[in-house]
């Protein structure tokens, strides 16, 4: 995943947010159990993590990891983590998306484990490693990346004599034909927060930047209006389903062909397979449509790290586990099977799970498409220092806009205003 977190290191280092004082607080980890083992707790939500923890415990008798499932970050997991850090009873480890890691760092919620991670930089793709570091500090290990592709119902497309759209203009034409074939048929459904961010990311429509040691917030830029206006046009024509992403209605639409595409990250393969069993054999994967024919720029959505939280009493054991989780071939191969994760570790890009045919996708080798997309991810994207709040404000506006109550461009503009106001209130420097 291509992110420029390191560029914001200086600014984040000057923040004095509420949680900073908790960095030396206690943790629910027990560095040494009665048996002499180091004991650490790990909060996460990805399918397959619990099995990976069990495998680690079997092969590492001196370290015991306890896995506890929590709600996905945006659905409450991140707030639970921050609350636990504030209370001094946080776990040692947590699954934290790259987009949220700068916010955690800014709030003093992460522990620097650079002394234990020495020499590990070369194990990971450069951009992924940058996503877990700020200057010389290392806050965990990168796990996966999220290059975007287009999942599409090939049965629906074939029935209408449609080829996978290579451009967004072709995508728009396909949207009209699909909806014309049935009033309940749509090309896609609403995109929110980081899924929507991936669409902007591809178009070089950044949301944040750094200028003269101050933050720039550019969610309402001309480039962002271009992306928003495109999708607004589809909404205004009634070409987008109202089924919320990840809602049961969405899974039903994917299964019965009423929602014909998902433009999303590689890990969406696992989501689609797990929630839309009726679609087995009907779906395929194609490159993300381009704004201009012949371009090859790709967005990124998601991807996460195993972060070490402030207050962890066993940082060396914590690093041992997080590095193992991201680099062990057997463990990560299982994560590919169970969660469709795409590895950040260099030596795992040749995993057999990434070269096999996928029965759900009609026997297609879907990771061949992903492998072509990964190096084309736009490298200029920067996440802001308070993405949990920013995404909440944005989702409020996006939800209304997708439903026809307001506009996508208006949602971005309002989110920018709210973000700038909050950043200034927190004492951050914001460029005009």
- pLDDT grade, residue 28 (50/70/90)? low
Q: Look at the chain and count its residues.
A: 432
Domain residue ranges of the chain, discontinuous segments joined by +: 5-145+302-354, 148-300+380-425
- Residue 349 burial class via C-beta count within 10 angstroms: exposed 0-12, middle 13-18, buried 19 and up: middle
Whether pTM exceeds 0.75: yes
Distance linking the first and last C-alpha atoms of the chain: 29
Determine the pLDDT at residue 8: 42
Determine the pLDDT at residue 10: 45
CATH hierarchy code of domain 5-145+302-354: 3.40.190.10
Mean pLDDT of 150-157: 98
- pLDDT grade, residue 286 (50/70/90)? very high
Specify the higher pLDDT residue, 228 or 350.
228
CA-closest candidate to residue 98, choices 244, 303, 375, 345: 303
- pLDDT grade, residue 302 (50/70/90)? confident
Specify the higher pLDDT residue, 36 or 14.
36
3-state SS record for 300-321: ECCCEEEEEECCCCCHHHHHHH
CATH hierarchy code of domain 148-300+380-425: 3.40.190.10
235/176 Cα distance (integer angstroms) = 11
Question: Mind listing the pLDDT tens digit for each residue in 211-249?
Answer: 888 999 999 999 999 999 999 999 999 999 999 999 999
Query: Do 5-145+302-354 and 148-300+380-425 have matching folds?
Result: yes
Question: Mind listing the pLDDT tens digit for each residue in 117-145?
Answer: 999 999 998 778 888 988 899 999 999 99
In the beta sheet, which residues pair with residue 142?
305
For residue 37, pLDDT beyond 60: yes
Determine the pLDDT at residue 36: 64
- Residue 397 burial class via C-beta count within 10 angstroms: exposed 0-12, middle 13-18, buried 19 and up: buried
Mean model confidence pLDDT for the chain: 90
Question: Mind listing the pLDDT tens digit for each residue in 375-399?
Answer: 888 777 888 888 888 999 999 999 9
């Amino acid at each position: 995943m291509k992110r420029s977190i390191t560029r914001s290191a200086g600014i984040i280092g000057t923040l004095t947010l509420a949680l900073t004082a908790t960095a030396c607080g206690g943790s629910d980890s027990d560095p040494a159990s009665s048996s002499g083992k180091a004991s650490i707790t790990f909060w996460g939500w990805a399918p397959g993590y619990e099995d990976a923890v069990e495998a680690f415990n079997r092969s590492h008798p001196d370290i015991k990891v306890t896995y506890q499932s929590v709600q996905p970050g945006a659905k409450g997991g991140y707030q639970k983590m921050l609350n636990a850090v504030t209370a001094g009873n946080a776990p040692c480890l947590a699954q934290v998306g790259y987009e949220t890691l700068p916010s955690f760092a800014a709030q003093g919620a992460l522990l620097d484990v650079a002394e234990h991670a020495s020499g590990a930089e070369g194990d990971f793709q450069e951009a992924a490693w940058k996503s877990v570091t700020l200057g010389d500090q290392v806050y965990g290990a990168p796990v996966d990346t999220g290059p975007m592709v287009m999942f599409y119902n090939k049965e629906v497309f074939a029935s209408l004599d449609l080829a996978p759209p290579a451009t967004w203009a072709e995508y728009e034409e396909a949207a009209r034909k699909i909806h014309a074939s049935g009033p309940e048929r749509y090309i896609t459904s609403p995109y929110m927060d980081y899924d929507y961010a991936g669409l902007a990311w591809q178009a070089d429509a950044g949301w944040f930047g750094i200028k003269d040691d101050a933050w720039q917030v550019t969610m309402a830029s001309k480039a962002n209006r271009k992306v928003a206006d495109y999708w607004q046009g589809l909404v205004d024509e009634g070409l987008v389903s109202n089924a919320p992403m990840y809602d049961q209605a969405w899974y039903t639409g994917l299964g019965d062909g009423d929602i014909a595409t998902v433009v999303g990250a590689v890990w969406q393969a696992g989501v689609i397979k797990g929630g839309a069993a009726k679609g087995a054999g009907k779906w395929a994967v194609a490159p993300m449509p381009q704004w201009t024919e012949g371009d090859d720029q790709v967005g990124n959505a998601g991807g996460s790290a195993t972060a070490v939280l402030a207050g962890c009493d066993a940082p060396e054991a914590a690093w041992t586990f997080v590095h193992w989780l991201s680099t062990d071939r057997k463990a990560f191969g299982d994560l590919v099977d169970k969660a469709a994760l795409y590895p950040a570790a260099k030596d795992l890009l040749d995993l057999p799970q990434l070269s096999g045919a996928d029965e759900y996708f009609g026997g297609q080798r879907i990771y061949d498409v992903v492998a072509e997309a990964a190096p084309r991810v736009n490298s200029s994207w920067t996440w802001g220092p308070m993405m949990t709040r920013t995404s909440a404000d944005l989702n409020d506006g996006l939800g209304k806009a997708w439903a026809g109550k307001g506009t996508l461009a208006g949602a971005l503009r309002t989110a920018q205003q709210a973000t700038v106001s909050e950043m200034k209130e927190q004492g951050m420097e914001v460029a005009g």
